[in-house]
């Protein structure tokens, strides 16, 4: 007879893992635990250990926020919500809050009679019911179920239950450890487990198949999203072309990635993070059925939203359309979407994943007729830098991000950011900014100024307004030199911070300019990187606020 593990046993394993710092030891602990599980436990425990309740592909949420949790916990423990909030402020750990709250309660129940321990599977089934509750009265239903779970928990169980519910497990079991642990538990290599995972993105199912020796039966499956292949960045086009040789050059469309599954049951569209986009894209979905000339297919592409002038709209507009669950009819008029298909992973029962891009592409061209809202992405096959450059300029002129260079003989490698696909896009125009402060480094860098506060000039008042802080870019030698120059300019020191006379100008690169209430300029640089000192520029010649505003608008 099968004996199912209690949630208490699960909590004990979590506690042991939490105390351990070595990833190898943690992997062993997880592997040992997985080995002891029955199939129905093996389906769910990998996710619970990773602090998740449902696998990514399910696009399913528990729908429990902090106030709902407090409500349930307060009913189960007799502590009021203010006390719980206070406890959270003290400990910073929702698990600890639940543990302490339930401690008092458990001592009472001990007098009233024993405790019955729930199994992991029982807890999971209740969590599923919590997720299912929706609509009117669902909040009360969720609270009741959660109250029941806490009332049946010992303090230790409550700790991990609360963390699980809030998605804050804190036991350092991530995808890498889970992959290795499954491999170790059932005698397979991490690569074999990884490959199967990329196809069905469900560690529960992968663990069961590994245990049964059926890992090689796992392949691409219709209506189960496959992890998407990604690209590496290549700042230098000439170098990229040299590395690739003759390759496929495509526009890097400025939109959102979509994976489209077509089958007898209908059509389903997934985002890169496996959100189900079928409903928000209902108009495009209708066309898919018409333009795809086979019964079953999995297609990869980019959804682009256009404005009235025919330029692609910024990414956040597409998201707005895609995330909107209501008013789809109006949105589709307001934001028309076009899908450009660039890959094909599966056709009529046959997986094309291991076939070279060239073959996948010709299959794609054969099965898809262009439609009003769907077309096959234009592809240019070339080994010439000048040809790739022309495609690049056209893509930018059309308002897209840049280009993709793809190795024609490479397979589709799910979830991999490898060298078979390279992306090339413009580096943002750099900014010249005045250094107004710095922080001394830590540890072996304590004698070096290591991060630098940067400011632009407000051309109206002449004031220097901070726009960010740069800490990456300079080499150790450059840091020494910068420290020598800047130490001469220290006006004031507070702890590790020094205020500097504004004399030096840095050229900095960045990924994006964002609006920010945290800096006096009202803007902040995302991922700023030191390029060089502009010896040739005085602070008065540094970039001003108008230029930052202009760049912000340009790259919006
Ligand atoms: P990044 O998000 O910068 O790593 O760039 C990769 C993303 O570019 C993909 O996930 C797609 O969403 C997008 N993309 C746009 N056009 C293409 C294309 N022709 N081939 C592949 N990816 C593309």
* Stated pTM of the model: 0.75
Q: Is the CB of 253 under 6 A from ligand 1?
A: yes
Distance 447 CA to ligand 1 centre (A): 43
Burial code (b: 16+ CB inside 10 Å, e: under 16) for 135-160 equals eeeeeebbbebbbbbbbbbbbbbbbb
Pairing of strands 230-233, 417-424: parallel
Ligand 1 center to 472 CA (angstroms): 26
Instruction: Give the H or E element holding residue 176.
Output: helix 175-186
- With a CB cutoff of 8 Å and minimum separation 6, the contacts of 347 are 294, 296, 297, 363, 367
Q: How far does residue 257's CA lie from ligand 1's centre (Å)? A: 7
For residue 333, how many other CB atoms are within 10 A of its CB? 8
Q: Count the neighbouring beta carbons within 10 Å of the beta carbon of residue 12.
A: 16
Q: How far, in Å, from the CA of 175 to the mean position of ligand 1?
A: 23
Mutation to probe ligand 1, out of 225, 247, 252, 428 (largest number of atoms < 8 A from CB): 252
Find out whether the beta carbon of 296 lies less than 6 Å from any atom of ligand 1.
no
377 in contact with ligand 1, CB cutoff 6 A: yes
Q: With 0-12 CB in 10 A as exposed, 13-18 as middle and 19+ as buried, what is 523?
A: buried
CA–centroid distance, 377 to ligand 1, in Å, is 12
Closest CA to 346 of 467, 445, 226: 226
**Structure token pair of residue 113:** 């009679």
Ligand 1 neighbour 343 (Cβ under 6 A): no
Give, for all 556 residues of the chain, the pLDDT tens digit.
568 999 999 999 999 999 999 999 999 999 999 999 999 999 999 999 999 999 988 888 899 998 999 999 999 999 999 999 898 888 889 999 999 999 876 555 554 444 568 999 999 999 999 999 998 999 999 999 999 999 999 999 999 999 999 988 989 899 999 999 999 999 999 999 999 999 999 999 999 999 999 999 999 999 999 999 999 878 789 999 999 999 999 999 988 899 999 999 999 999 988 888 898 888 889 999 899 999 999 999 999 988 877 888 866 667 666 666 545 555 555 678 899 999 999 999 999 999 999 999 999 999 999 888 999 999 999 999 999 999 999 999 898 989 999 999 999 999 888 899 999 988 777 899 999 999 999 888 889 999 999 999 988 888 899 999 998 888 888 899 999 999 989 988 888 999 999 999 999 988 778 888 888 899 999 888 898 888 778 888 899 999 998 888 766 5
In this structure, the strands spanning 297-305 and 256-263 are antiparallel
Helix, strand, coil shares of the chain, percent, nearest 5, are 45, 25, 35
Distance set, CA 196 to CA 354, 415, 417, 443 (Å): 14, 12, 17, 43
Assess whether the region 7-166 and the region 230-424 belong to the same CATH fold.
no
Distance CA 357, CA 413 (A): 11
So where are the chain's domains? Answer: 7-166, 230-424, 430-554
Pocket of ligand 1, candidates 423, 424, 425, 527: which has the most ligand atoms within 8 Å of its Cβ, to mutate? 423
Strands 350-351 and 337-347: antiparallel
> Ligand 1 pocket, 257 CB below 6 A?
yes
| Tokens linked to 437 | 């402060």
Which of 269, 272, 302, 511 to mutate for ligand 1's pocket (most ligand atoms within 8 Å of CB)? 302
- Name which CATH class applies to 230-424: alpha beta
**Quick check: CB of 302 below 6 Å from ligand 1?**
yes
State whether the beta carbon of 415 lies less than 6 angstroms from ligand 1: no
| CA 510-515-516 angle, 5° bins | 100
User: Is the minimum distance from the CB of 412 to ligand 1 under 6 angstroms?
Assistant: no
The CATH number for 430-554, chosen from 2.40.50.140, 2.70.150.10, 3.40.1360.10, 3.40.50.620, is 2.40.50.140
Interatomic CA distance for residues 103 and 95, integer angstroms: 12
Within 8 A by CB and 6+ apart from 216, the residues are 192
- Whether the CB-CB separation of 339 and 258 falls below 8 Å is answered with yes
Residues annotated as catalytic (active site), given as ranges: 252
Atom nearest to 229 CA in ligand 1 = 10
Pair 526, 512: CB distance under 8 Å: yes
Q: How far is the CA of 260 from the centre of ligand 1 (A)?
A: 15
Judging by DSSP bridges, how do beta strands 374-376 and 350-351 pair with one another? Answer: unpaired
Length of the chain: 556
Cβ of residue 230 lying under 6 Å from some atom of ligand 1: yes
Q: What CATH code is assigned to 7-166?
A: 1.10.3260.10
Distance from C-alpha of 223 to C-alpha of 199, rounded to nearest angstrom:
11
CA-nearest residue for atom 12, ligand 1, is: 257
């Amino acid at each position: 007879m099968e004996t199912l593990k209690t949630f208490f046993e699960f909590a004990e394993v979590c506690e042991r893992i939490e105390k351990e710092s070595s990833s190898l030891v943690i992997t062993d602990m997880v592997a040992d635990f997985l080995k002891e599980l029955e199939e129905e436990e093996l389906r769910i425990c990998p996710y619970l250990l990773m602090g998740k309740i449902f696998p990514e592909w399910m696009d399913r949420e528990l729908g429990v926020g902090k106030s709902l949790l407090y409500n349930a916990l307060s009913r189960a423990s007799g502590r009021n919500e203010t006390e719980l909030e206070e406890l959270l402020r003290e400990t910073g750990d929702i698990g600890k809050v639940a543990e302490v709250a339930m401690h008092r309660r458990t001592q009472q129940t001990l007098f009233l009679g024993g405790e019955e321990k729930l199994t992991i599977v029982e807890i999971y089934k209740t969590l599923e019911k919590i997720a299912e509750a929706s609509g009117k009265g669902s909040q009360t239903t969720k609270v009741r179920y959660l109250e029941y779970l806490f009332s049946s928990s010992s303090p230790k169980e409550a700790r991990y239950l609360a963390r699980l519910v809030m998605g804050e497990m804190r036991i350092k079991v991530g995808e890498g450890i889970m992959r290795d642990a499954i491999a170790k538990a059932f005698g397979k290599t991490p690569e074999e487990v990884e490959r199967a995972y990329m196809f069905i993105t469900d560690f529960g199912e992968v663990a069961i198949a590994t245990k049964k020796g059926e890992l090689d039966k796992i392949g691409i499956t219709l209506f189960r999203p496959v992890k998407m292949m990604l690209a590496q960045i290549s700042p230098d086009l000439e170098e990229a072309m040299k590395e690739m040789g003759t390759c496929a050059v495509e526009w890097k469309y400025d939109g959102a990635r979509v994976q489209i599954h077509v089958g007898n049951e209908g059509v389903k569209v997934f985002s890169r993070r496996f959100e189900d986009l079928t409903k928000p894209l209902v108009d495009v979905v209708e066309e898919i059925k018409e333009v795809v000339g086979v019964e079953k297919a999995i297609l990869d592409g980019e959804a682009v939203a256009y404005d009235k002038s025919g330029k692609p709209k910024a990414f956040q507009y597409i998201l707005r359309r895609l995330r909107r669950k209501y008013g789809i009819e109006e949105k589709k008029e307001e934001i028309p979407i076009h899908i450009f298909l660039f890959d094909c992973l599966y056709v009529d029962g046959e997986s094309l994943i291991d076939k070279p891009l060239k073959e996948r592409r010709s299959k794609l061209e054969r099965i898809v007729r262009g439609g009003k809202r769907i077309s096959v992405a234009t592809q240019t096959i070339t080994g010439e830098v000048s040809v790739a450059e022309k495609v690049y300029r056209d893509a930018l002129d059309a308002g897209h991000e840049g280009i993709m260079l793809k190795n024609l003989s490479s397979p589709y490698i799910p979830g991999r950011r490898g060298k078979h696909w390279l992306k090339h896009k413009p580096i943002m125009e750099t900014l010249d900014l005045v250094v107004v402060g710095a922080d001394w480094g830590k540890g072996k860098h304590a004698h070096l100024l290591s991060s630098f506060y940067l400011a632009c000039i407000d051309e109206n008042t002449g004031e220097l307004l901070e726009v960010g802080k740069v800490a990456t870019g300079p080499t150790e030698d450059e840091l020494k030199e910068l420290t020598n120059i800047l130490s001469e300019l220290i006006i004031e020191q507070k702890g590790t911070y020094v205020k500097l006379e504004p004399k030096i100008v840095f050229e900095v690169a960045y990924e994006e300019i964002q609006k920010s209430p945290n800096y006096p300029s009202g803007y902040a640089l995302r991922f700023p990187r030191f390029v060089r000192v502009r010896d040739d520029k005085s602070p008065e010649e540094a970039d001003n606020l108008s230029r930052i505003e202009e760049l912000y608008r340009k790259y919006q």
